[in-house]
């Protein structure tokens, strides 16, 4: 069976040494999050994931979900109990305000826990994950009554949440959506239409399911400007808060899909279901964006999570599997062959995954911290900068971490040779499960367009300029530190490539938008490579600071520094290739006539 150990120690290095969490104890919820408390919380979370979630990953994949003749859905054996253990542990409301039953802790901790959950069992983790997204949307846009009605139950885990955007004819282009909402005259609406691919749309884990549904009110304008958001519970809620009669929403069928078999992906039929508007009329996309942005970051974390668990299993295998001899002479002469980890090509593969995982985790922590500052700081300037970063980093975290998360799951599978292709080793499942993260929550091509088309130019380029200034200042401050030379020079070069690419878009994309479209994915990856390079430089600085410590710390810091140097030498140079691709423009890409494809 595949192994998994949550990387608590690595997270604590980030929270203690790289982005010291205690420096932020002026923010609401942070004073309670001392490093000791955080470590204890994460150790508990790790235990749940390693001992309860992970053992159900493969069985859930094999068994999948079943739709019963009455339209109910049964999840794989053990999922309900595991979900109940998650809810009982208070994980759902970790960062939800205390007035709604949560613990009010930094949302950063939630992002970290999402990694552990998604590594141990992605399909299972999506049930609470979607609920947390729905909670976030209701917290921002729900009425007081909606918050009182739904939030405590959702935070407790008694009710789960979903997001319903996609329809058969529209996924990316939501402006075409047809689901309609007709006023009932009593403040509620009758919602009718078909939604497809709805994750956790129906299941047996909770007593009620709270659907957040995009629909068009009769007579509303066409396109995205006529879409509203509605809360549509599976069971109507009585005055006293108890679960009442069944609403007109049901699961028509389940999709048979490539991965995440333990998660129910449903066709949802709305037949005059009663729903209540959330936020303003025709501003539904705006309200749904709260959930979508939360979900995009969470999906980025899913990419990292699959990369991490696949890596851990590849390392265990590479230390164990005996094939061939080391190029520099036998390393296990008492055995018939050396373990494959002696081979440079195997080490190159493993190190490229490890170097990504540690940098991506730092990026998630940095982004999570910015999210908390954006939502909780009383300093307006600080809030604005953090919010700018969130906007800028969301498509990068979603797109880059999931593209590379999938690539890394494939690389880790490769370490097993033919055995990686055989289901019982579990590597095939990591590859299959990782694939969806590149697609849902906005396919990655759309994330790249969001970054280049919307985020770069927003507020006169304020966010990207702040990023350039921050990384540039870091390079300058550490320019004379010999111990960081292997980090600063490549980072400076990568930053230069990113600045040139940004400038090239400014000069060439306005008049010719195809130039932006053709270069967007390369730009998103160029950005991700530099952002992770910055993370490595910061980690290297922190690791240098701790090298003198005893108790095995020095060896761990050396390992950090070596992994970081691998990133700088082997992965950072990609920025030059990306820049070269971007600046060729769109001419060749767009010249081929459609019939020539």
Ligand X SMILES: Cc1cc2nc3c(=O)[nH]c(=O)nc-3n(C[C@H](O)[C@H](O)[C@H](O)COP(=O)(O)OP(=O)(O)OC[C@H]3O[C@@H](n4cnc5c(N)ncnc54)[C@H](O)[C@@H]3O)c2cc1C
- 470 part of the active site: no
- Per CB under 6 A, does 554 bind ligand X? no
- Which listed range, 162-170, 306-314, 401-409, 586-594, lies at the site for ligand X (CB under 6 A)? 162-170
Q: Quick one: 166 or 312, whose CB is closer to ligand X?
A: 166
Are residues 177 and 170 in contact, defined by beta-carbon separation less than 8 angstroms? yes
- Per CB under 6 A, does 406 bind ligand X? no
| Whole-number Cα distances in Å, 312 to 6, 46, 351, 352 | 10, 15, 12, 13
- Which listed range, 159-167, 205-213, 229-237, 341-349, lies at the site for ligand X (CB under 6 A)? 159-167
Are residues 163 and 291 in contact, defined by beta-carbon separation less than 8 angstroms? yes
Q: Quick one: 443 or 586, whose CB is closer to ligand X?
A: 443
- Which listed range, 116-124, 166-174, 277-285, 412-420, lies at the site for ligand X (CB under 6 A)? 166-174
Q: Quick one: 110 or 160, whose CB is closer to ligand X?
A: 160
Are residues 389 and 463 in contact, defined by beta-carbon separation less than 8 angstroms? yes
- Per CB under 6 A, does 436 bind ligand X? yes
Closest CB 107 distance from ligand X, rounded Å: 21
Q: Using alpha carbons, select from 302, 262, 259 the residue that is nearest to residue 405.
A: 302
- Per CB under 6 A, does 589 bind ligand X? no
User: Hunting for tokens 């159900």 — which residue is that?
Assistant: 56
Other C-beta atoms lying within 10 Å of the C-beta of residue 128: 25
Are residues 393 and 436 in contact, defined by beta-carbon separation less than 8 angstroms? no
3 state DSSP class of 218: coil
Would you call 210 exposed, middle or buried from its count of C-beta atoms within 10 A (0-12, 13-18, 19+)?
A: buried
Closest CB 35 distance from ligand X, rounded Å: 36
- Per CB under 6 A, does 442 bind ligand X? yes
Q: Which tokens go with 101?
A: 């039953």
Q: Which of 6, 122, 390, 449 binds ligand X (CB under 6 A)?
A: 449
What is the β-pairing status of strands 228-233 and 265-278? antiparallel
| Whole-number Cα distances in Å, 396 to 201, 352, 526, 531 | 28, 19, 10, 9
Count of H-run helices and E-run strands, the chain: 17, 11
- Which listed range, 22-30, 191-199, 243-251, 545-553, lies at the site for ligand X (CB under 6 A)? 191-199
How many residues sit in the footprint of ligand X (CB under 6 A)?
Answer: 20
Closest CB 586 distance from ligand X, rounded Å: 13
DSSP assignment of 337-379: S-BGGGSHHHHHHHHHHHHHHHHHHHHHHHHHHHHHHHHH-S-
Q: Which of 75, 103, 164, 228 binds ligand X (CB under 6 A)?
A: 164
Q: Which of 441, 470, 569, 595 is catalytic?
A: 441
- Per CB under 6 A, does 163 bind ligand X? yes
Are residues 267 and 84 in contact, defined by beta-carbon separation less than 8 angstroms? no
Would you call 13 exposed, middle or buried from its count of C-beta atoms within 10 A (0-12, 13-18, 19+)?
A: buried
- Which listed range, 196-204, 320-328, 332-340, 464-472, lies at the site for ligand X (CB under 6 A)? 196-204
- Which listed range, 363-371, 388-396, 442-450, 506-514, lies at the site for ligand X (CB under 6 A)? 442-450
Taking the C-alpha atoms of residue 49 and residue 6, their distance in angstroms, rounded to an integer, is 8
Q: Which tokens go with 71?
A: 């339209």
Q: Which of 165, 215, 495, 498 binds ligand X (CB under 6 A)?
A: 165
- Per CB under 6 A, does 443 bind ligand X? yes
Binding mask 298-337 for ligand X (x = CB under 6 A): ----------------------------------------
Q: Which of 91, 197, 523, 527 binds ligand X (CB under 6 A)?
A: 197
Q: Quick one: 241 or 513, whose CB is closer to ligand X?
A: 513
Closest CB 195 distance from ligand X, rounded Å: 7
- Per CB under 6 A, does 199 bind ligand X? yes
Q: Quick one: 265 or 402, whose CB is closer to ligand X?
A: 265
Query: 462 φ, ψ to 5°?
Result: -60, -45
Q: Which of 80, 180, 257, 512 binds ligand X (CB under 6 A)?
A: 257
Taking the C-alpha atoms of residue 276 and residue 82, their distance in angstroms, rounded to an integer, is 32
Are residues 342 and 331 in contact, defined by beta-carbon separation less than 8 angstroms? yes
- Per CB under 6 A, does 447 bind ligand X? no
Q: Quick one: 7 or 262, whose CB is closer to ligand X?
A: 262
Q: Quick one: 165 or 579, whose CB is closer to ligand X?
A: 165
- Per CB under 6 A, does 439 bind ligand X? yes
Q: Quick one: 214 or 488, whose CB is closer to ligand X?
A: 214
Report the first-to-last Cα separation within the chain, whole angstroms. Answer: 44
Q: Which tokens go with 425?
A: 């080793």
Closest CB 257 distance from ligand X, rounded Å: 5
H-run or E-run covering 113? helix 107-141
Q: Quick one: 125 or 171, whose CB is closer to ligand X?
A: 171
Q: Give me the residues paired with residue 378 across strands.
A: none
Q: Using alpha carbons, select from 403, 438, 139, 82 the residue that is nearest to residue 278.
A: 139
Q: Quick one: 129 or 490, whose CB is closer to ligand X?
A: 129
Are residues 178 and 167 in contact, defined by beta-carbon separation less than 8 angstroms? yes
Beta strands in 441-594 (DSSP E): none
Closest CB 268 distance from ligand X, rounded Å: 9
Tell me the residue number closest to ligand X, measured at CB. 171
Q: Which of 244, 445, 457, 472 binds ligand X (CB under 6 A)?
A: 445
- Per CB under 6 A, does 198 bind ligand X? yes
H-run or E-run covering 199? strand 189-199
Are residues 74 and 266 in contact, defined by beta-carbon separation less than 8 angstroms? no
Closest CB 185 distance from ligand X, rounded Å: 29
Q: Which of 265, 313, 367, 478 binds ligand X (CB under 6 A)?
A: 265
Taking the C-alpha atoms of residue 119 and residue 302, their distance in angstroms, rounded to an integer, is 7
Q: Quick one: 199 or 385, whose CB is closer to ligand X?
A: 199
Taking the C-alpha atoms of residue 210 and residue 202, their distance in angstroms, rounded to an integer, is 10
- Per CB under 6 A, does 446 bind ligand X? yes
Closest CB 286 distance from ligand X, rounded Å: 16
Q: Which of 103, 118, 166, 429 binds ligand X (CB under 6 A)?
A: 166
Catalytic sites, residue numbers: 441
Which residues are near ligand X by CB under 6 A? 163-166, 171-172, 197-199, 257, 265, 436, 439-443, 445-446, 449
């Amino acid at each position: 069976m595949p192994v998994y150990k949550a990387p608590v120690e690595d997270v604590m290095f980030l929270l203690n040494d790289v982005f010291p969490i205690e420096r932020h104890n002026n923010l609401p919820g942070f004073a309670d999050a001392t490093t000791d408390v955080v470590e204890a919380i994460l150790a508990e979370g790790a235990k749940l994931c390693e001992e309860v979630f992970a053992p159900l990953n493969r069985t859930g994949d094999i068994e999948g979900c079943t739709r019963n003749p009455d339209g109910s859905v049964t999840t794989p054996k053990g999922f309900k109990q595991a979900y109940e253990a998650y809810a009982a542990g208070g994980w759902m409301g970790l960062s939800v305000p205390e007035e709604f039953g949560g613990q009010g802790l930094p949302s950063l901790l939630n992002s970290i826990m999402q990694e552990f959950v998604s590594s141990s069992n992605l399909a299972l983790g999506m049930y609470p994950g979607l609920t947390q997204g729905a909670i976030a949307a209701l917290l921002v846009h729900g009425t007081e009554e909606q918050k009182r009605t739904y939030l405590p139950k959702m935070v407790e885990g008694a009710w789960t949440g979903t997001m319903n955007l996609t329809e058969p004819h529209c996924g990316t282009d939501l402006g075409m959506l047809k689901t309609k909402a007709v006023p009932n005259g009593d403040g509620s609406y009758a919602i009718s239409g078909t939604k497809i691919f709805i994750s956790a749309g129906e299941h047996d884990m909770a007593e009620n399911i709270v659907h957040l549904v995009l629909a068009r009110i009769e007579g509303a304008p066409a396109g995205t400007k006529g879409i509203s958001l509605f809360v549509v519970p599976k069971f109507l809620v009585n005055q006293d808060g108890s679960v009442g009669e069944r609403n007109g929403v049901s699961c028509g069928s389940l999709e048979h899909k490539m991965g995440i078999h333990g998660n129910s992906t449903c066709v949802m039929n709305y037949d005059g279901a009663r729903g209540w508007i959330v936020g303003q009329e025709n501003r539904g996309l705006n309200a749904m964006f709260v959930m979508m942005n939360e979900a995009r970051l969470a999906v980025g974390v899913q990419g990292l999570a699959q990369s991490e668990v696949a890596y851990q299993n590849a390392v265990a295998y590479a230390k164990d599997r005996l094939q061939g001899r080391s190029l520099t002479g036998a390393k296990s002469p008492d055995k018939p062959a050396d373990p494959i980890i002696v081979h440079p090509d195997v080490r190159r593969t493993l190190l490229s995954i490890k170097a990504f995982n540690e940098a991506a985790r730092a990026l998630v922590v940095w982004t999570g911290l910015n999210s908390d500052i954006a939502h909780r700081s009383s300093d307006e300037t600080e809030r604005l900068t953090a919010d700018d970063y969130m906007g800028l980093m969301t498509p990068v975290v979603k797109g880059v971490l999931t593209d590379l998360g999938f690539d890394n799951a494939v690389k880790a599978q490769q370490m097993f040779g033919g055995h990686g292709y055989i289901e019982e080793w579990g590597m095939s499942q990591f590859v299959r499960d990782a694939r969806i993260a590149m697609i849902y929550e906005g396919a990655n091509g759309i994330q790249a367009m969001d970054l280049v088309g919307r985020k770069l130019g927003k507020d006169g380029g304020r966010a990207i300029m702040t990023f350039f200034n921050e990384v540039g200042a870091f390079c300058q401050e550490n320019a004379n530190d010999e111990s960081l030379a292997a980090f600063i020079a490549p980072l400076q070069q990568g930053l230069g490539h990113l600045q040139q690419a940004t400038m090239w878009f400014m000069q060439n994309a306005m008049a010719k938008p195809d130039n932006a479209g053709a270069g967007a994915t390369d730009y998103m990856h160029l950005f991700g490579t530099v952002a992770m390079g910055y993370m490595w430089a910061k980690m290297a600085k922190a690791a240098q600071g701790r090298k003198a410590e005893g108790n095995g710390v020095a060896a761990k810091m050396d390992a950090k520094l070596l992994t970081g140097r691998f990133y700088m030498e082997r992965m950072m140079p990609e920025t030059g290739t990306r820049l070269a691709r971007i600046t060729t423009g769109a001419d060749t890409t767009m010249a081929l006539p459609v019939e020539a494809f």
